[in-house]
């Protein structure tokens, strides 16, 4: 009889372990790094958007209580194309504004060189559009939002809607075009980054170990054609997606001139583009409430305005 308590305790442990193992991957518990989600949000985690089986080709879906025909905003993380995760998404603040949100991972530069990253982003958009009716959001109102390396990738999405070179993988007949882009301080032209850097710059982009070099497979000035292929500035056309660009004027990593030149080129081509410069802003972490107002105002105007 002395062993009964220990046996009962062990049985309880097994039951608890089994319950934990049986928990659905569609958990509604947000990671600790995120703010609490609004009531009624359904979360579907680690959905594979490619059949290749790579661990990074997965996304999370956040569906508001009234998700029927809601616009979808796709968050693409930064991290120099070599770090980062879908687990932290500032786009979740849009759930309370009636948007569905997807947050994606993509292959990093340690897994594959460019253009694998934009190919993954486009594959994710095609998957999301294919499965829109199943999850309840609108396949014709999809925006992409990203920061830094993610800003570069969403900018590429915005200017390559009709460029088929980056469409690889499943759902080949489905469009990877997005209807709006929010680009937070993403590089737009790799070859000019060092020339545009100011005295506060903390990075040499032409160096052989720079994030851009790791992405392209070597120093960017020695791979100029690949650098141009990866630069959104070289794809601009009048039918590109409307774009909001946000950049700090004291960014020590990506020169603000990258966004200023990109914005000017978009406007010259007749694209619906806006540029908001954060005064004394660095590489993100903006302490400026106007940034959120710019994002929600832009998305509401482009994705929620009544059709003319």
CA 127 vs CA 47, 51, 75, 140: distances in Å: 10, 11, 15, 13
Q: For residue 105, tell me if it sits in a domain.
A: yes
Query: Are 72 and 61 within 8 A, CB to CB?
Result: no
In which domain, by residue range, is 130 found?
26-304
Burial of 99 (0-12, 13-18, 19+ CB in 10 A): buried
pTM: 0.88
pLDDT at residue 196, as a whole number: 97
Q: For residue 115, tell me if it sits in a domain.
A: yes
pLDDT at residue 291, as a whole number: 98
* Phi, psi (rounded to 5 degrees) for 278: -85, 115
Q: For residue 8, tell me if it sits in a domain.
A: no
Q: Which of 78, 72, 51 is nearest to 60 (CA)?
A: 72
Question: Which residue in the block uniquely carries the two structure tokens 């997606």?
Answer: 241
| Reported confidence tier of residue 34, pLDDT bands at 50, 70, 90 | low
Q: Give the 3-state secondary structure of residue 204.
A: coil
Q: For residue 254, tell me if it sits in a domain.
A: yes
Average pLDDT over residues 124-143: 97
Q: Name the token pair of 96.
A: 């309370």
**pLDDT greater than 60 at residue 7:** no
Q: For residue 15, tell me if it sits in a domain.
A: no
**pLDDT greater than 70 at residue 27:** no
Q: For residue 5, tell me if it sits in a domain.
A: no
Higher pLDDT, 282 or 10: 282
* Phi, psi (rounded to 5 degrees) for 103: -125, 125
CA 215 vs CA 43, 86, 159, 298, 299: distances in Å: 32, 19, 20, 31, 30
**pLDDT greater than 50 at residue 300:** yes
Output the domain CATH number for residue 76.
3.40.50.1820
pLDDT at residue 42, as a whole number: 96
| Reported confidence tier of residue 255, pLDDT bands at 50, 70, 90 | very high
Domain count, the chain: 1
Query: Are 40 and 98 within 8 A, CB to CB?
Result: no
**pLDDT greater than 80 at residue 184:** yes
d(CA 57, CA 121): 9
Share of the chain above pLDDT 90, in %: 83
Average pLDDT over residues 191-201: 92
| Reported confidence tier of residue 199, pLDDT bands at 50, 70, 90 | confident
Compute the Cα dihedral for 242, 190, 146, 177 and give only its sign.
positive
What is the average pLDDT value for the chain, to the nearest integer?
90
d(CA 28, CA 192): 44
**pLDDT greater than 90 at residue 144:** yes
pLDDT at residue 66, as a whole number: 79
Q: Give the 3-state secondary structure of residue 138.
A: strand
**pLDDT greater than 80 at residue 231:** yes
| Reported confidence tier of residue 305, pLDDT bands at 50, 70, 90 | confident
212: left (phi over 0), alpha (psi -120 to 50) or beta: alpha
DSSP state of 72: E
d(CA 248, CA 37): 28
Q: For residue 17, tell me if it sits in a domain.
A: no
- pLDDT tens-digit map of 36-48: 899 999 999 999 9
Average pLDDT over residues 225-250: 98
- pLDDT tens-digit map of 70-118: 999 999 999 999 999 999 899 999 999 999 999 999 999 999 999 999 9
Least confident of 16-20, 86-90, 213-217, 290-294: 16-20
pLDDT at residue 306, as a whole number: 62
Q: For residue 106, tell me if it sits in a domain.
A: yes
């Amino acid at each position: 009889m002395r062993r009964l308590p220990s046996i009962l305790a062990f049985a309880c442990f097994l039951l608890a372990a089994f319950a934990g193992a049986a928990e659905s991957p569609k958990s509604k518990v947000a990671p600790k790094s995120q703010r609490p989600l609004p009531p009624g949000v359904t979360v579907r985690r680690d959905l594979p958007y490619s059949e290749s089986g790579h661990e990074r080709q997965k996304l999370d879906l956040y569906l508001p209580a009234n998700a029927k025909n809601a616009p979808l905003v796709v968050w693409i993380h930064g991290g120099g194309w070599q770090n980062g995760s879908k687990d932290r998404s500032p786009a979740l603040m849009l759930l309370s504004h009636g948007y569905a949100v997807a947050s994606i991972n993509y292959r990093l530069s340690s897994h594959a060189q460019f253009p694998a990253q934009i190919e993954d982003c486009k594959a994710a958009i095609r998957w999301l559009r294919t499965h829109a009716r199943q999850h309840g959001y609108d396949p014709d109102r999809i925006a992409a939002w990203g920061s830094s390396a993610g800003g570069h990738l969403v900018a590429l999405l915005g200017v390559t809607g009709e460029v088929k070179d980056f469409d690889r993988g499943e759902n080949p007949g489905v469009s990877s075009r997005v209807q709006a882009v929010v680009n937070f301080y993403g590089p737009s032209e790799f070859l000019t980054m060092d020339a545009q850097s100011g005295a506060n710059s903390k990075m040499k982009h032409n160096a052989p170990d720079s994030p851009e070099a790791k992405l392209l497979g070597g120093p960017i000035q020695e791979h100029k054609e690949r650098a141009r292929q990866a630069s959104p500035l070289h794809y601009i056309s009048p039918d590109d997606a409307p774009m909001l660009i946000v950049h700090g004027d004291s960014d020590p990593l990506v020169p603000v001139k990258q966004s200023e030149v990109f914005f000017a080129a978009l406007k010259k081509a007749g694209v619906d583009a806006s540029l908001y410069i954060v005064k004394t802003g660095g590489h993100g972490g903006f302490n400026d409430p106007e940034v959120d107002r710019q994002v929600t105002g832009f998305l509401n105007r482009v994705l929620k305005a009544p059709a003319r």
